[in-house]
Structure 1
């Protein structure tokens, strides 16, 4: 369950191959992805049961720079009335947009959106023996930007994910009392 929530949250996190995509820009070394981010949309190559229930709310995630270029990501979800807090370290690789998780077994690419203040997180890994690919649109504010959402849908299509299955979670600032 923890791995499923992590993949949902980070791609939260979104999934992809390591090769570069000509239509999607790569992250520059000097781009700062630290701070507060909001998960605005997500898409996956697999159905995630909680998404179709419509009972998923997300709180802002925090990304903090660590030594060596690694990133710490903390986020909270409210799923079926229960708050779930997650934290993970993204380990920097020699590619500016590529990070690994869980001792290099899973890959996350952080790709700038064509829309300023937005990124697309692509995640690829295995959960409970099943391969999973996810794409997540994150932004600096909680409001949905239609142009960023269209850019996200184009990126999802470019990776072979179904743009019709894009899920937009409900935004919350904090988890409600008594839901831990």
Structure 2
């Protein structure tokens, strides 16, 4: 049953790629994703997942495309006022990929947003208790223009996320003290 649900979710997310015109999706060179990124926004239809101490409240540091068609990413999270480094290896297949977490199965895709300076990670979680969708907006710089922020808000609102469930991460502590040193706190 779990496998069937995962396959259905993967098919639905990948199928949206063709019909969804509100997110800029192109066959981009996955190697262009490599480098430093900054988390700008989190948006979800289940807000507690992205609020402080939420399981999906993470801050991107670096993403690398590896030779074996997988992605390596370093995220940071804040738990009880301490910051921790969260390395992640993820097998990729074009724009769609999947993994398993404590929250259930995640199916996600990475989309360019106008150019290679901004990307959107769109994740659908298939938890048996409470499935949800999540959007993460990353940029090459620590902040972006108000116009770009407005465009992202419009995109996620079209996908059913209410404005109250969009968190502007540029207004909070994003764990910059761990950025680049590769050392997690004990």
TM-score bin (small chain): 0.7 to 0.9
| Structure 2 counterparts to residues 7-156 of structure 1, below 5 A | 17-18=13-14, 19-20=16-17, 21-31=20-30, 32-48=32-48, 51=51, 60-93=60-93, 96-102=94-100, 105-114=105-114, 117-127=117-127, 129-156=129-156
Query: When the two structures are superposed, what TM-score results if normalisation uses the length of structure 1?
Result: 0.73
User: CA offset at residue 17 of structure 1?
Assistant: 3.0
Q: Deviations over 1:10-63 (max 9, x none)?
A: xxxxxx83312123221323251111100011111102267268xxx9655111
Q: Deviations over 1:71-123 (max 9, x none)?
A: 01111122430223212222222xx3222223994211111113661111111
Task: State the alpha-carbon separation in 1 of the partners of residues 149 and 115 from structure 2.
Answer: 9
Return closer, same or farther for 1:105/1:59 CA change in 2, 3 Å cut-off: closer
Q: Deviations over 1:112-138 (max 9, x none)?
A: 113661111111113574212100110
Q: Which runs of 5+ in 2 are unaligned?
A: 1-11, 179-183
SS at match of 1:39: strand
Max radius of gyration: which structure? 2
Task: State the alpha-carbon separation in 1 of the partners of residues 118 and 132 from structure 2.
Answer: 23
> Paired residues, what number?
161
Task: State the alpha-carbon separation in 1 of the partners of residues 48 and 152 from structure 2.
Answer: 19
Query: When the two structures are superposed, what TM-score results if normalisation uses the length of structure 2?
Result: 0.71
Q: Which runs of 5+ in 1 are unaligned?
A: 1-15
SS at match of 2:68: helix
